[in-house]
Structure 1
Amino acid sequence: MEGIISNSNLFNSIAIVATLIFGLFLIRKKVINSELWGATVTPLASIIGSGFLIVAPLLHSVFGKWAPMGIIVLLVLAYGIGRVIRFNILHAESLEFSSHPFNLRLEKLSQIVLGIAYAISVAFYISLFTSFISREFGIDNTQTMKWITTATLLSVMGVSWWRGTKGLERIELIAVTIKLAVIGGVLAALASFDIATQTHWFGHDPIKKLTFFEKMAMLAGMLMVTQGFETTRFMGEHYSKNIRIQASRNSQWIAIAIYILFIGLTCPIFLDFPIVELNETTISQSLGRAVSVLPLLLLGAAIASQLSAALADTIGAGGLLKEIIPSSLSINLYYMIVIGSAIFLIWSANVFEIINLASKGFAGFFFLQILVALNLIRQKLNGSKQFFSILGCLILEAALIFVIFFSIPAPHS
């Protein structure tokens, strides 16, 4: 440990310099003004907003040294679902639903399920955000934190009323730029820590002995950390099909690279500094013991990403509800329904239970979208391509059924 302490300033410097370098790269005009990057920002904001701050402690606490395999399984499942979403962007949106009433009913039902999932995810985003803020100020009382979360949710509702979708993409662009820059700094600092300490990479154990089924059920409950790519399905007013398909694919590949690197690089951290109990800010506490500046960077990332993701999902869920239940009432009423649901959740469940509920909700949406795709595959594809596409969809459906009915929260304090 003496070597770690003596290199502390070096690790801090690497984290800060790398963050600045990544930030400067991302604010270049060529990047900011790119239509494709602008479209990629929305799904990417949702994916990294969903998972980056929580995924490492979740996986390491459940799988120990096998955490990298856990994230790979999740990412393969998510990428398969992403391919289905992209297929539907290409083929389902051009359908005349009057001649395909079954697909229309599936689309409507999937939007209802997605609206519910978004409301759950808003509760998660803000719960995680307030946990980071509260712990930074030494607030550890559960009731107090719930009141802070409630107040923050009401503020999100107020901003949704005031701004709506206007300017939201710009907020997301700023938030993603900050978070990607921080992620770059975190990864650089972790890599330098791992190289300097030469700790064994795959030697740590999970915090609790679990059966294989329990581990798979908990992994299924983490599906939410990979979602976000589906937002491109609803960006047709602003971007062409080709741009949205590329944006969905790009966002997933960027997230795949980030998650695999992050989970891999944190393996030595959790061997040197084992997780004793899992809570919302475990990642900040663990990384802070290795590189002292990281909690501050992660706090900045939490402020930027969680608020923008919550705002985006509030507006998205409100818009979906208004489409599903059309009325002459103001869109603000639908925002109130979303925020009211989120407030109910934060008072009746903890953040890990909310993650599991959100995973079930998104799994339900994906399940219905795959049913839409299966109907289209029979019409659009032939021969071996049709056979393997149907087989792939059925495998995905089986995995999603497991998520919906058998997923459980990770063990937590």
Structure 2
Amino acid sequence: MLHNGIAIFFSLVVVIVLFNKRFRLSQQWRATVTPLASIIGSGFLIVAPLLHATMGKWALAGIVVLSLFSLALGATIRFNILHAEQYLVENPNGSIAKLEQVGQWFLGGAYAISVAFYISLFSAFVFDRLGIENLYIVRVATTAVLLSIMAVAWIRGAKGLEAIELYAVTIKLSIIVGVLVALFTYDISTGKAWFEHSATQSLSKFEIISMLAGMLMVTQGFETTRFMGAEYSATQRIKAVKYSQGIAIVLYVIFIGLTCPIFLEFPIVELNETTISHTLGKAVWVLPILLLIAATASQLSAALADTIGGGGLVRELLKSKISTNMGYMLVVILAIILVWTSNVFEIINFASKGFALYYLVQTLITIMLLLKYQNKTGRVWLKIIGSAFIAASLVFVILWSVPAPHG
């Protein structure tokens, strides 16, 4: 009961703090909320079982590698906010502008894949609590939710979305902090060993790296700042990238570390969408309930956000040949197709490849802008070499990343 009480108490404390007027009315916090909502929306629910199943006692190292890679990608996005956006305005018909448009097509597809993932994960958590395991029923219900989201996007559009995200992120962050504190007290009180659990199956180093590459999506979300220029300044958006990534990475690293003793005591028997809920529930019974609330709040808001973002992006790319509502419909139709043809881990891998394609384009734009510098100092050449390494890593994600085994 002590661990349950701690989880609930600290969740309430964080809710009170984040609903404080200073936070709610802060322009910088509002700018940070959108990318933060995307980064920790789904990844927090799925990343722990994925890493522990594929890497065992090296799971913490896995999230550190993913985090460092995402920070490098974040630096690319920040550079392009500062330099590429103005260049694109001044050179709307140049090669960089054409490359930017290609990247937006990739991003539109990745958004649709993300919507499928968010709602599949949402349905998995809800139906797991209801004790319904029939895959056909779950997919029918997931399709119904996706169609409902399309209707909301069709009728309401982007109006009020930021407010929804603000409340969803507040609930989600409060629950995450409560979960982390409860796990910390549980680990200390039980005295279980750290970093001694094994992966669920023996994998080669290449297989582990390929699966780790397939998890790129769990760190994605910071790129949304590229499309918030109408509401926030470049300075605010650059800070939003830093703050959202910083908060998410700290939470991810602490979470993976604290779950190491849990997965030693309760080894993974079956790897699926709700493994984290079942495993943590064996340690502290209130955690699955809190995670269900977090899943409900975050997945629905994130799916609505990506539906609206993807639909608007498709309309813009087609030069208004279709309505924005038709853009929403295309995003949802692709999401429905994925729901009926793929499991959640396969969808994660598809999304990782889609976002990797977008990041690759952004990295190439960074390299092209750096090469245009007349005065190429040692620092500029270092950025070019670093960007080239990032680009090569993204090519690996696109070509060789694979989903973790489901089941």
Distance 1:406 1:328 in 2: 36
| Counterpart amino acid of residue 94 in structure 1 | Q
Using the aligned pairs only, state the percent identity.
Answer: 57
Counting matched residue pairs gives 405
Using the TM superposition, give the Cα deviation of residue 97 of structure 1 relative to its aligned residue in structure 2, in angstroms: 5.1
2:286 corresponds, among 288, 293, 310, to 293
Instruction: Establish whether residue 343 from structure 1 lines up as the match of residue 336 from structure 2.
Output: yes
Using the TM superposition, give the Cα deviation of residue 330 of structure 1 relative to its aligned residue in structure 2, in angstroms: 2.4
Contact 1:50–1:227 (CA<8 Å) still a contact in 2? no
Q: Corresponding residue for 1:390?
A: 384
Q: Corresponding residue for 2:7?
A: 15
Alignment of 1:14-33 (within 5 A): 14-33=6-25
Instruction: Establish whether residue 192 from structure 1 lines up as the match of residue 185 from structure 2.
Output: yes
Q: Corresponding residue for 1:4?
A: none
Q: Corresponding residue for 1:215?
A: 208
Q: Corresponding residue for 1:226?
A: 219
The gaps in structure 2 that reach 5 residues or longer are none
**1:40-80: CA deviations, max 9, x gaps?**
00000000013000000000000000000000000101100
Using the TM superposition, give the Cα deviation of residue 329 of structure 1 relative to its aligned residue in structure 2, in angstroms: 3.5
Distance 1:387 1:330 in 2: 44
Using the TM superposition, give the Cα deviation of residue 99 of structure 1 relative to its aligned residue in structure 2, in angstroms: 6.7
Alignment of 1:116-265 (within 5 A): 116-265=109-258
Using the TM superposition, give the Cα deviation of residue 398 of structure 1 relative to its aligned residue in structure 2, in angstroms: 1.1
| Counterpart amino acid of residue 283 in structure 2 | A
Q: Corresponding residue for 1:36?
A: 28
Using the TM superposition, give the Cα deviation of residue 327 of structure 1 relative to its aligned residue in structure 2, in angstroms: 2.6
Secondary structure at 1:323's aligned position in 2? helix
Distance 1:412 1:351 in 2: 8
Using the TM superposition, give the Cα deviation of residue 276 of structure 1 relative to its aligned residue in structure 2, in angstroms: 0.9
Instruction: Establish whether residue 106 from structure 1 lines up as the match of residue 103 from structure 2.
Output: no
| Counterpart amino acid of residue 303 in structure 2 | A
| Counterpart amino acid of residue 236 in structure 1 | G
RMSD between aligned alpha carbons?
A: 0.9
Q: Corresponding residue for 1:6?
A: none
Distance 1:403 1:49 in 2: 22
**1:82-117: CA deviations, max 9, x gaps?**
000000000111114537611011100000000000
Distance 2:394 2:287 in 1: 35
TM-score under structure 2 length normalisation: 0.98
Distance 1:232 1:314 in 2: 16
2:295 corresponds, among 295, 302, 326, to 302
Q: Corresponding residue for 1:284?
A: 277
Using the TM superposition, give the Cα deviation of residue 368 of structure 1 relative to its aligned residue in structure 2, in angstroms: 0.4
1:99–1:38 CA distance, 2 compared to 1 (3 A): closer
Distance 1:98 1:274 in 2: 56
Distance 2:155 2:5 in 1: 40
Distance 2:376 2:292 in 1: 51
Instruction: Establish whether residue 369 from structure 1 lines up as the match of residue 358 from structure 2.
Output: no
| Counterpart amino acid of residue 319 in structure 2 | P
| Counterpart amino acid of residue 256 in structure 1 | I
Alignment of 1:74-113 (within 5 A): 74-95=66-87, 96=89, 98=91, 101-113=94-106
TM-score under structure 1 length normalisation: 0.97
Contact 2:315–2:321 (CA<8 Å) still a contact in 1? no
Secondary structure at 1:93's aligned position in 2? helix
Q: Which runs of 4+ in 1 moved over 3 A?
A: 96-100
Distance 1:198 1:68 in 2: 19
Q: Corresponding residue for 1:3?
A: none
